[in-house]
């Protein structure tokens, strides 16, 4: 495995991750360095990742501490980003809870036994969420390795939000409209709240495993929340997402895809310190909706990573300018890094962001 001692060679050292530009931005401070990281920066777009993963299943890689740590560190070395994002998958805590799930290449998470009836829900919620904490030693070990290598750079821990996890569980795999999950909310609200409440505790336990081991911030991903109406989000989802983040004693980011109509609710009544915005909503417009007391994150359009550099540069500069209207801004994509992205483009974006902010 390649050495990782060169992760923090650049930039003068602040007094630990809590003084980093990323953590300070989440808390609402503007510094002379615009913090930048990329969702899905750890993984599939990097040739060194693909080489390392040969012969290893995704979930096995996530649960092998040395491998997960190395994958987390690769983009930090290559791109010079201002934070690592822990390499894992949103279904890992479900695997730790004893649920049969595999990640099929080209498709995503697939569950052997979908959760669709009241009896299915009763069976799954009988599992103590603390089982996740007890089984999460490989996660804690990997986080400690990464934190030791990152030094003053922060590590972001993450977990899937209850609705997105429930959507996978109820559908049995990926879905475009999440009809079964949304139907359960209204057809059997008692079962829905039991399931979503259990998933909130599972996600919370997974986040705590990472923060207890040294992660300096966390992000809750709600990839499928955009399929919900405002009324359904408020009644059936927001309370459980709030519970997943409540009591986490590090700065908290909340991100969803297609959630322009939910942005103010994504604040989770102040539980979130920052809200990630996808590429559809200009950051100045998002900041006006979110208000002056929350940080924005985003929102470079991932599709533009394939454009000529002068197009990318103009877009990034525009995103940075619009982000200036928020109390603080973390530069990121509006979703994850596409697998066929040229890594050099990401490296150039990081350099540009630091140059512009300096």
Distance CA 12, CA 14 (A): 7
Least confident range of 27-31, 130-134, 306-310 = 130-134
Q: Please indicate whether residue 89 is annotated as part of the active site.
A: yes
Q: Are 80 and 87 in contact (CB under 8 A)?
A: no
Q: What percent of the chain has pLDDT over 90?
A: 92
The mean pLDDT of 33-56, rounded to a whole number, is 94
Q: Are strands 108-111 and 101-104 parallel, antiparallel or unpaired?
A: antiparallel
Per the annotation, the verdict on 44 as an active-site residue is: yes
Annotated active-site residue in 33, 40, 95, 327 = 40
pLDDT score of 10 more than 60 = no
| Residue range 102-108: mean pLDDT, rounded | 88
More confident residue, 65 or 107: 65
Cis previous bond, 299, omega within 30: yes
Check if 249 is active-site. Answer: no
HSE-CB for 52 with a 13 A CA cutoff: 24
pLDDT of residue 14: 55
Q: Is 200 a residue whose pLDDT tops 90?
A: yes
Ranking 11-25, 54-68, 197-211, 283-297 by mean pLDDT, the lowest is 11-25
The catalytic position among 44, 144, 280, 348 is 44
Q: What's residue 12's pLDDT?
A: 53
Q: Which tens digits make up the pLDDT trace of 185-199?
A: 999 999 999 999 999
Can you tell me the mean pLDDT for 50-65? Answer: 94
Per-residue 3-state assignment (H helix, E strand, C coil) for 222-264? ECCHHHCCHHHHHHHHHHHHHHHHCCCCCCEEEEECCCHHHCC
Cross-strand partners of 155: 84
Whole-number pLDDT of residue 7: 47
Do strands 329-333 and 295-300 pair parallel, antiparallel, or not at all (unpaired)? parallel
Catalytic-role residue among 33, 78, 82, 89: 89
Kindly report the CATH class assigned to 19-357.
alpha beta
- Domain assignments of the chain as residue spans, ordered by start: 19-357
- Asked if 269 is an active-site residue, the reply is no
Mean predicted confidence (pLDDT) in 296-322: 98
pLDDT at 6 over 50: no
Q: Is 78 a catalytic residue?
A: no
Structure tokens at 166: 């429930």
Residue range 59-69: average pLDDT? Answer: 97
Question: Does the pLDDT at position 4 exceed 80?
Answer: no
List the catalytic residue out of 53, 144, 280, 348. 53
Question: Which position among 24, 78, 82, 168 bears the catalytic label?
Answer: 168
Q: What is the pTM of this model?
A: 0.94
Model confidence at 212: pLDDT above 60? yes
- pLDDT, residue 105, reads 85
């Amino acid at each position: 495995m390649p050495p990782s001692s060169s992760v923090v060679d650049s930039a003068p050292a602040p007094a630990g991750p809590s003084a980093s530009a990323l953590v300070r931005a989440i808390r609402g401070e503007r510094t002379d360095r615009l913090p930048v990281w990329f969702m899905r920066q750890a993984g599939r777009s990097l040739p060194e990742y693909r080489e390392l993963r040969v012969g290893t299943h995704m979930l096995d890689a996530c649960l092998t501490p040395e491998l997960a740590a190395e994958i987390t560190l690769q983009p930090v070395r290559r791109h010079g980003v201002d934070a690592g994002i822990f390499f894992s998958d949103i279904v890992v805590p479900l695997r730790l809870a004893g649920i049969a799930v595999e990640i099929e290449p080209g498709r995503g998470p697939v569950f052997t036994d979908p959760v669709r009836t009241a009896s299915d829900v009763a069976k799954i919620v009988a599992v103590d969420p603390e089982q996740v904490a007890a089984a999460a030693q490989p996660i804690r070990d990997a986080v400690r390795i990464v934190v030791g290598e990152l030094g003053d750079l922060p590590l972001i821990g993450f977990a899937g939000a209850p609705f997105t996890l429930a959507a996978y569980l109820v559908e049995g795999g990926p879905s475009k409209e999440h009809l079964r999950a949304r139907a359960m909310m209204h057809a059997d609200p008692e079962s829905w709240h039991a399931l979503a409440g259990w998933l909130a505790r599972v996600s919370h336990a997974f986040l705590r495993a990472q923060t207890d081991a040294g992660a300096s911030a966390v992000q809750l991903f709600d990839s499928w929340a955009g399929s919900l109406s405002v009324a359904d989000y408020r009644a059936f989802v927001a309370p459980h997402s709030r519970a997943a983040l409540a009591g986490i004693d590090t700065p908290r980011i909340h991100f969803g895809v297609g959630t322009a109509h939910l942005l103010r609710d994504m604040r989770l009544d102040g539980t979130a310190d920052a809200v990630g915005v996808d590429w559809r909503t200009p950051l100045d417009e998002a900041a006006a909706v979110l208000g002056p007391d929350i940080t924005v994150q985003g929102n470079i359009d991932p599709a533009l990573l394939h454009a000529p550099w002068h197009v990318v540069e103009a877009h990034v500069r525009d995103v940075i300018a619009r982000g200036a209207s928020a109390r603080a801004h973390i530069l990121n994509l509006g979703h994850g890094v596409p697998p066929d992205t040229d890594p050099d483009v990401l490296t150039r974006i990081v350099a540009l962001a630091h140059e512009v902010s300096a």
